[in-house]
A and B are shown apart, each in its own frame.
Chain A
Amino acid sequence: MSGQPLLLVRDAHRDYPRSAEPVHAVRGVSLDVAQGEYVAIVGPSGCGKSTLLNLLGAIDRPTRGSVTIGGTAVSTLPDKAATRFRLTNIGFVFQRFYLLPVLTAQENVELPMAEAKVPLAERRERARELLGYVGLEARADHRPAELSGGEQQRVAIARALANRPIVLLADEPTGELDARTGSDVIALFDRLNRDGMTIVVVTHDEKLAGAARRVIHMLDGQVIRDEPLLRRA
């Protein structure tokens, strides 16, 4: 661990009701993630890693147990407060980028700031800064359809960083990218972590998992192994 605990999960369960028998997607997971950590959650498809990520991101609530982020028990927050919490504290990156196709790269990055009521001039400047950080300043006025998959994902990362979140959560961020652009995203995550960002990433990508400082293995909704990796030079 490289700092104070930022994410605390205690005996979290997530069941999905089905007509025959409920599906136990997450079963009794407990874990801590410290500030500044770079954690990869790996495991076979359907093992519950994306569900766990959704619990960590206050997108979903545990059926039982608790999730605390930065001292806030997000698992008990009402919807409005949880939404606000996600907006200001959590950055999300998804496999399919999901940029709004009608907005330019710049406007996509500005969207969370607009929602947070950041003044226009300030969000313009911050969006430019973030696009510069991910190497896409020159593509600011392009719409997603005019960007490559790797570029779209980098815009999505810039969007995730817009409101200066305390943690970045990524679900298969290299899943739709080829090896070269996937490497660019891995390098970007590495740089972000070096700059102090706490990152939790769910992935099948061994290269991405290998870049993390800690790897959590899941199987059948449970954590089966939690191994810190040596920080590379």
Chain B
Amino acid sequence: MRFQLAALSLRRHASRTLLAVLGVAVSAAMLLDMVMLATGMRQSFASLLGRNGFTIRVSPRGTLPFDTEATIGQARDAAAAIKRITGVTAVAPVLGSTIHVLGGANPVTAFALGVDPAVQGDYQLLQGQHPTANALVASDALLRATGAGIGDTLDVAVGFDPQLRTYTGRRRVVVSGRARFTYLSADDRAAALQLASVQALGGADRTDRVSLFMVRTAPNVDPEAARVAVERTLPRVTALSTAGAVAEAEHRLSYFRQLAFILGAVSLIVGFLLVTTIVTVSVNERIGEIAIMRAIGVSRSHVVHQIVIEGIGLSLTGAAAGLILGLFTAKWLNSILRGFPGLPDAIDFFLFQPNSAFRALALLVASGIAAGIYPAWRAASLPISATLREEAVG
């Protein structure tokens, strides 16, 4: 009968209960979104880096991948040396470059990646074929900008000299496919060619050079040990494991997490105070009834349980509604933030992780239990005869 009485008490002021549930739902949604934000970027970034099984990035010493235009020389030897390290299963060389697609009134500038199509992890082919020696795959944004399609030929040049108005390299290539570039945004104009093609276009400066190596390790090998081995083998490089990159990103995103933590804590407190207030008001209205219940022999524990159940009922219903509301608002906010220029398409700011989300909502429900305890304690501690006397006078 405790559950029945608690439910009926909440239904007694249906509009007030509904408003309280909405309030808790907003608070729960905010809490959920903050939890999703606090962990989302980190997880999303880790997931992005971990795609295709690459666990180590090797870049010129003292730089992060594509932080500068510096390159690693004697790339073939370096790749071979890395491959010899125990646990390394694949090495994907990448050379970045700016290309100009000629032919129109104004050349279209794009970012080009020279890769080994057999082991690359930079793009996902959507349509067509991987690039051969005189071919490229292009992002939709580049195809839109050039008006080209699969099978069309483009006049591509590299190394524009603004004074001489010349290029260090130029060749005609066929568009062999459409691709989505993993580490670039959907709006980026990008192309992938064979590594040798980009090196050749770059002239002598780019011969046998790469911007970075992406290294895949065996599942049973500690990537950190392999990373140390790479740096020991090649003193002129910096090797960064995915875990290290994530830690670095996490360090840079620490303000985000702190903000999310503070706002999440505020949401929790607001939810707690809301439930406490509503249940306290409800108890104050029923003080005579509670005194009568106690007088006719209803135990303190019954009164406490009933009131705590009311608090839990409000919190649970609010948390359930907040889960739905939070997912919708997170999706909406994510779509806004993902529009930020230059962000990889695969990065999510709000990532739903069932464990974190349910832990946060469990915390809210626990706060609902705590919220019911104060009014429940007050109600159960009523001096029966004094309350009845006051109620009779009142």
Contact = CB atoms under 8 A, between A and B. Distances in A.
Interface string B366-394: 00000000000000000011001101100
Interface string B1-20: 10011001101100000000
Interface in B288-334: 288-289, 292-300, 302
Contacts of A159: 296
B12 A101 contact: yes
Given A59-B384, A59-B385, A102-B12, A96 B288 contact: yes
B279 to A, nearest CB: 16
Nearest to B297: A87
B295 A59 contact: yes
Given A50-B389, A86-B295, A95-B392, A79 B300 contact: yes
Contact of B392 (A92, A96, A111): A96
Interface in A95-141: 95-96, 98, 100-103, 107, 110-112, 114-116
Contacts of A110: 1
B297 A115 contact: yes
Nearest to B9: A102
Q: Which of A79, A94, A101 has the most CB of B within 10 A?
A: A94
A101 B296 CA distance: 16
Contacts of A94: 292, 295, 388
Contact of A112 (B5, B11, B297): B297
Contacts of B294: 83
A100 B389 contact: no
Contact of A86 (B289, B297, B391): B297
Contact of A100 (B11, B289, B300): B289
B296 A87 contact: yes
Interface SS majority for chain A: helix
Contacts of B391: 96
Q: Interface size bucket, A side? A: 20 to 34
Interface residues of B, number: 25
Given A96-B391, A98-B289, A111-B1, A88 B9 contact: no
A114 B1 CA distance: 7
B295 A103 contact: no
A101 B290 CA distance: 12
Given A51-B385, A96-B288, A102 B5 contact: yes
A36 interface: no
Contacts of B296: 86-87, 92, 111-112, 159-160
Contacts, number: 77
B288 A88 contact: no
A90 B298 CA distance: 12
Contact of B297 (A60, A88, A98, A102): A88
A173 interface: no
A189 B298 CA distance: 24
Contacts of A231: none
B300 A80 contact: yes
Contacts of A194: none
A116 B302 CA distance: 11
Contact of A60 (B11, B292, B298, B384): B384
Interface in A23-51: 50-51
Q: Which of B298, B300, B302, B385 has the most CB of A within 10 A?
A: B385
A98 B11 contact: no
A44 B388 CA distance: 18
Nearest to B301: A80
A221 interface: no
A86 B385 CA distance: 13
A93 to B, nearest CB: 10
Interface in A41-81: 50-51, 54, 57, 59-60, 79-80
Contacts of A86: 295-297
A51 to B, nearest CB: 7
A103 B296 CA distance: 16
A103 B11 CA distance: 12
A11 B296 CA distance: 25
A83 B385 contact: no
Contacts of B384: 54, 59-60
**Nearest 7 interchain pairs by C-beta:** A87-B297, A102-B8, A98-B292, A60-B385, A86-B297, A114-B1, A54-B385
8 contacts: A50-B392, A86-B296, A87-B298, A94-B388, A101-B12, A107-B4, A110-B1, A163-B297
Given A51-B385, A86-B296, A115-B298, 19 more contacts: A59-B384, A60-B385, A84-B297, A84-B299, A87-B296, A87-B298, A90-B297, A92-B292, A92-B296, A98-B288, A100-B293, A101-B12, A102-B5, A103-B8, A112-B296, A112-B298, A115-B1, A115-B302, A160-B296
